[in-house]
Structure 1
C-alpha cells in the first residue's frame, strides 16, 4: 500500500524526492504526485520490538530513501550491507505529537539517535536535539 509522509510542523507539506534528493514540499505540483508516494517496507523487529522499515519510491520502484553524508537521497539497492543500513529506519513514536494520532519518527539504524528530519525543506538524518523534535515527526497518510 502506498503512503505519504506528512510533516508534523508543516501539515500541508510531505516528503518527496526531487532530483533524487529528499525534500519537504506541498503536494500541489500537477503530474508529480508519485514523487510523494512511498511504500513503507517492513524488514524486521529489532531487539526492543521496534519495527525496522525502509521506504521504496512508487515511481522508481528499484530505488529507496537512504542517507548519504546525512542527506536523504533516492538510490537503487546495490546489495551492500552499507546500503541496507543506510536505508533502514527504526519506526518510533513521534518525538512530537500524539502517537495515538499516528505521529512517528524514524531513527537511523546505523546512526542511533539520528532521525529523518527536514531542515530548510531539505530532508536529512540528524541527531535528536529536543528543538528538532517537530522537524523529525511525520504521519503516514494512506493513498
Structure 2
C-alpha cells in the first residue's frame, strides 16, 4: 500500500483481534510487500490474513468508531468486526487531509450530513468529497491521541454522544473527550 503522506501504524493481532500484540508506527517504507517467515524455528501458520486498516477507539476504552445500518456510531460490541475497520486514504477534497473508507464496503466513506455521521457511497460530487474529508488534529482531550476536524466546517469535529457520531463545535471538556480517539 503506497502512502507517502504519513507514517503508517503496524499492528499485529493474535486470536482476539481486539488488542494488538505488537504496535509500532514507522514511516521508513511507504510501499512494499508483506511476508511471513521464521528463523531457526519450526512454525505452522494457519488462518493468516493481512489487512491494511485502522480502528479508532474512543476515550471510553473498548468503544470503537463503526457503522451500523449506515449510521456512524461507537460501540463496545462490534459484529461484524469489519464494521469498525477503516482505510485511511488521502482526503477526497484535499489530498493533504484524509478520508475514512469502510473496509467491508469499499467506495463508502464516513461523512457528515445534517450534523450526523453516515456511511455513504461516494457520489463524486464536490459536496460529498468535502463532507467526507477530515483534518487529522492532535487530540482535543489528549494531544498524544487524535481528533478529526471537518474539512468544510472548520472548528467542527467528529464526536460521539450517546453511542452515535455527530459533527459538532467543541466547547466543554466532555466535548473534547468525546472528540478524541486512539488509532
* Residue 129 of structure 1: how far off its partner (Å): 1.2
Q: Normalising by the residue count of structure 2, what TM-score does the alignment of the two structures yield?
A: 0.68
Aligned match of 1:25 in 75, 79, 82? Answer: 75
CA distance, structure 1, for counterparts of residue 55 and residue 115 of structure 2:
21
Question: Number of aligned pairs?
Answer: 128
- Whole-Å Cα distance in 2 between the matches of residues 56 and 127 of structure 1? 23
The answer to whether the aligner puts 1:116 opposite 2:158 as a matched pair is yes
| RMSD (CA atoms) | 1.1
Distance 1:42 1:63 in 2: 14
5+ unaligned residues in a row in structure 2: which ranges? 1-51
Larger Rg: 2
How far is 1:19 from its partner?
0.6
Relative contact order, higher structure (CA 8 A, sep 6+): 1
Match of 2:87 in 1: 39
* Deviation (angstroms), 1:130: 2.9
Q: Confirm whether residue 65 of structure 1 aligns to residue 110 of structure 2.
A: yes
Structure that is richer in strand per residue: 1
> C-alpha distance in 2, partners of 1:94/1:119?
17
